[in-house]
Amino acid sequence: MSTLIKNATIFDNSSQYHLQKKDILIIDGQIHKIAETIKTEDHFKVIELDNLHVSCGWFDSSVSLGEPGYEERENLENGLLVAAKSGFTKVAVNPNTNPIVDSKSDVEYLKSKSFNTATSLYPIGALTQQSKGIELAELYDMQKSGAIAFGDYNLPIENDNLMKVALLYAQNFDGLVLSFPKNNKIAGVGIANEGINSTKLGLKGIPALAEHIQIVRDLFLLEYTGGKLHIPTITTTKSVEIIKEAKKKGLQVTCSVAVHHLALTDDELHGFDSRFKTNPPLRSEKDRKALIKGVKSGIIDCITSDHNPIDIENKKVEFSQAEDGVIGLESAFGILNNLLELEEFIPLLTNKPKTVFGLVDNVIEEGNKADITLFNPKIESKFTQEHILSTSNNSPFINKKTKGEVYGVFANNQLILK
């Protein structure tokens, strides 16, 4: 298979061709030639698109795909196709399925079901058996089978000693431990950010303190044990400050932020629309701005869609009864590009998160494997129902302004375009 990408601006600050407009010839999945002009031959598949930009393929560090057990929400085949059409060539898939992904065989099932897809699937194994927070799962066996990290999705580890043991044990095979930043005893039965809006609306609040206490505990444990810790989807000003100080100490801690926490605040809750019910909850404008600053300063390592499809029966109900979660793959680029400059967020979708999770970032150079996202950064539009490709429809970005358009990906010797 030979594919010729014409007149593409290369956005890859690790490449000698960064910000240069080039033709890229891909033969059998490998970048064969990069030049000002490459002569078209009859057997080439030629790609010419308006204001075409290419970068290394994007990686999403938190995606839920339903299968097995929740196929009515999303299945692997469609979910990975959605990821590809949204620009993601690699996704880390959460273990929140039925059964929970907590064993070698579960990881192997996911890997086998995603074989030969353009978007590569990397399982996150549950940290504890059935994500119950009582006993550690088969961490080493899961890593040998392809798991890239271990965490109980959106569930905190309440047992301090269990987290300590996890951090110690994972060092034996250079494992990455994820710890969801929430103290359940402080959060209680809260369903929204504790603040002015929750008070006005009569919604039980989740204090920012619940996040801070959990992060501080985990960092104390990390300082004691050593090892590697990743804190997913932080949401507050103080969390950014705490992690900044921990990094200054030399602790191996990384963190991510979800797109919806960069773009939205708890002001959205005034319509009691369950599409805005998330875990962690949407916070204040002050917190949102601090997260943006954390991205720009490099304290935050990854940006994730935190894509979590929820079927209509569990989402379009009374706010207090609705399940947490949003879909975000399809809207991620357009929303981020409306908030940040390309040079500020593309590295947090490419080389930085791949380094955190131990993956290879294929630089756009001759001789390298072609793992490329194709996009146009200039088009301004509005995200509508028609843009949703997922099986579920729980997007908080309906009718929100976006900037840019994803054309698709070339990865695993497959071209996927919208």
Question: In 3-state terms, what secondary structure has residue 58?
Answer: strand
Residues 6+ apart with CB under 8 A from 269: 192, 197, 198, 201, 203, 276, 282, 319
Enumerate the β-bridge partners of residue 411.
414
Angle at 190 between CA 185 and CA 195, to 5 degrees: 110
Among all residues, which ones are annotated catalytic? 306
Q: Which two tokens stand for residue 283?
A: 């916070």
Number of neighbouring beta carbons within 10 Å of residue 389: 17
Residue corresponding to tokens 């429809």: 393
Q: What's the residue count for the chain?
A: 418
**Helix extents (H) in 86-156:** 104-113, 139-145
Task: Show the DSSP H helices in 298-406 as ranges.
Answer: 312-315, 332-339, 342-345, 351-356
- Which amino acid makes up residue 299? I
CA-wise closest residue to 390 among 334, 314, 329: 329
Determine the residue type at 46.
Answer: V
Cα separation of 114 and 91, whole Å?
A: 11
- Angstrom distance (rounded) from CA 285 to CA 107: 39
